Structure 1
Amino acid sequence: MAGRLEDKVAIVTGSSRGIGAAIVRAFVEEGARVVGVARSGDALDALRASLGDGASRFVPRVADVTSSAAARDVVRETLDRFGRIDILVNNAGVGHFAPVTELAEEAWDEMMAVNLKAPFLWTQAVLPHMMERRDGHIIMISSVAGTTTFVNGAGYCASKWGLMALADTLRQEVRPYELRVTAVCPGSVQTHFGGTPPRDYSLRPEDVAHTVVEVAAAPKRVIYGTVIMRPLVPGDRQ
């Protein structure tokens, strides 16, 4: 039986580990052809090796997601190879957590570059093709931190709130072209993101990937705007 994303072509940034790697696996299992973008070629190669029979549907691409030239190059190469791009998943992200008085300027700049600038650049690179086809889906992996704030999270929250604004505005702009834009906002995920040990009841990367597949495979007449995911906290932990 064909997968729900059979022959769809997707680009996934930040794809070498955690949520990104889980999305790649889920997409490949559903029949998609995936160009996975990350900084580490070794990690991408390891991911490809783990895909088994699906490895032929995965194309690793080492690139700096904060580079507009890299975004344009990957988009062009993907179009040359497959002829179209159906889905862009802006997943790459980084987190640094500290009080505002202690948060380093470099940490702030990195979060803004990876979490906010990169999705803008990759979206901008892929939009002309999607608009011309009047078909395509852009999925932003945001965070619950894009809907609420918390102590020591000023920089991270600011970047994710910005990403939510980008997604909301983009959704309005591309409506005439029948394109879809979705922001997926997970809560705590078991990835050691930002150097913080995850809680044992936290979401798993596969949970987020499952949701992304559901969003991407929805009928074209359906738009999931914002999807907020939280772990079910056991009763004795509440």
Structure 2
Amino acid sequence: MQLQSLQDKIVLITGASRGIGHAMCLLFAEKGATVYAIARNADLLDKLSAEAQPLEGEIVPLPFDITSASDVEKNVQYIADKHGKIDVLINNAGLGHFAPIHELTVEQWDEMMNVNLKGTFLCTKYVVPHLTRRQTGHIINISSVAGTVTFPGGGGYCTSKFGVMAFTDILTQELKPHNVKVSVICPGSVQTYFGQTEPKDYSLRPDDVAQIAYQMAAAPEHIILNQVIMRPVVPQTK
């Protein structure tokens, strides 16, 4: 499969300050894209932008809260006005709190739904008109294996990630007539200290997920890599 160039593509990546988002920003900039790195931590975004200075593309730090409709609308419009287009949106921002459902706090539940679902909805809502206007573009959602199977203690997280899967499926149907691609990646455990626990040394690396996102975004026009489920190979115990 001959991948397309990302040179001069305008790419928005949420959850960009660390982990998978950080890796995706650097890879897409390496491939020549102008990447808007979105997260709330301005200092981490500035450091990320500096890492991209030797690369072919660039990383533009853009700190704002994806759960705020006004913030999202204002910043998406700013990007579209500046470049005249948006090519790719990667909804990567996400977090998890893990405990039996009756032990989750209301604040933990709301935070997962706000970031994992509402943030994905808001970024998509305000980007879609710029894609359909040009009848081209790509939205890539980062879900999880936890969006395909459940486990005890993952009630809130699984609920939000199953929601991302349904959201992706509906969005695929709605945007297909407009020649806009929609994809989803479902990683298993990744070495990101996600969930405040030490990652296993055999877990996926952030760069592994970034590579799949890149292949999705750079796939030929006639191909949609619709859904990829990624799991690490777990070493056999003796």
Q: TM-score range by the shorter chain?
A: over 0.9
TM-score, length basis structure 1: 0.96
Q: Which residue in the other structure is 1:137 paired with?
A: 138
Greater shift in the superposed pair: 59-68 or 3-12: 3-12
Can you list the C-alpha shifts for 1:2-46, whole angstroms capped at 9, x where unaligned?
983111110001101100000000100011001111101000011
Give the whole-Å Cα distance in 2 for the aligned partners of 1:57 and 1:169.
32
Q: Which residue in the other structure is 1:46 paired with?
A: 47
Q: Which residue in the other structure is 2:151 paired with?
A: 150
Q: Alpha carbons of 1:236 and 1:194: their partners in 2 closer, same or farther (altered >3 Å)?
A: same
Q: Which residue in the other structure is 1:127 paired with?
A: 128
Instruction: Tell me the percent identity.
Output: 52
Q: Is the 8 Å Cα contact of residues 4 and 219 (structure 2) preserved in structure 1?
A: no
The one-letter code of the counterpart of 2:65 is D
Q: Which residue in the other structure is 2:58 paired with?
A: 57
Can you list the C-alpha shifts for 1:193-213, whole angstroms capped at 9, x where unaligned?
110111100000000001100
RMSD: 1.4
Q: Is the 8 Å Cα contact of residues 187 and 230 (structure 1) preserved in structure 2?
A: yes
Q: Which residue in the other structure is 2:21 paired with?
A: 20
Instruction: Name structure 1 gaps, 5 residues minimum.
Output: none
The one-letter code of the counterpart of 1:230 is R
Greater shift in the superposed pair: 226-235 or 107-116: 226-235
Q: Which residue in the other structure is 1:10 paired with?
A: 11
Give the whole-Å Cα distance in 2 for the aligned partners of 1:7 and 1:117.
29
TM-score, length basis structure 2: 0.96
The one-letter code of the counterpart of 1:207 is D
The one-letter code of the counterpart of 2:80 is L
Greater shift in the superposed pair: 118-127 or 73-82: 73-82
Greater shift in the superposed pair: 55-64 or 40-49: 55-64
Q: Which residue in the other structure is 2:115 paired with?
A: 114
The one-letter code of the counterpart of 2:72 is A
Q: Alpha carbons of 1:201 and 1:146: their partners in 2 closer, same or farther (altered >3 Å)?
A: same
Give the whole-Å Cα distance in 1 for the aligned partners of 2:39 and 2:157.
20
Give the whole-Å Cα distance in 1 for the aligned partners of 2:125 and 2:214.
23
Q: Which residue in the other structure is 1:162 paired with?
A: 163
Give the whole-Å Cα distance in 2 for the aligned partners of 1:55 and 1:18.
21
Structure 1 stretches of 4+ with a deviation exceeding 6 A read none
Please report how far the alpha carbon of residue 168 of structure 1 lies from its aligned counterpart in structure 2 after TM superposition.
0.3
Q: How many residues align?
A: 236
